[in-house]
Amino acid sequence: MNYTTIQISQETRERLARLKRATNETYDELLNALLDLVPQKDEEGQYSEEFRSSLLRGLLDIKGRRTRKLSDVKKRLGIK
């Protein structure tokens, strides 16, 4: 298997280390387990990787409170 190096902050590394299920679990295994939490499909079929990525970004936006109220969006679009 080919490996690469990624740059993450020390804080991120410590957060990842706390998520490990076992001390011998690799960061590759941990990151894949986290990525597997993103839904793969629904009753309509398989999600594309792009769609799965957008779901994850959307969840992070919600958690980070980077959202708009539905009423504000409707007002902006001229929808009642």
Each residue of 20-69: pLDDT tens digit?
999 999 999 999 999 898 899 999 999 999 999 999 899 889 989 999 99
The domain limits of the chain are 9-38, 42-80
* Helices and strands of the chain, counted as H and E runs: 4, 2
pLDDT value at position 80? Answer: 80
Q: Is the pLDDT of residue 71 over 90?
A: yes
Counted residue by residue, the chain has a size of 80
Element holding 46 (H helix, E strand) = strand 45-46
Which one, of 71, 58, 60, 11, lies nearest residue 80 by Cα? 71
pLDDT value at position 1? Answer: 81
Are 47 and 41 a contacting pair, CB within 8 Å?
A: yes
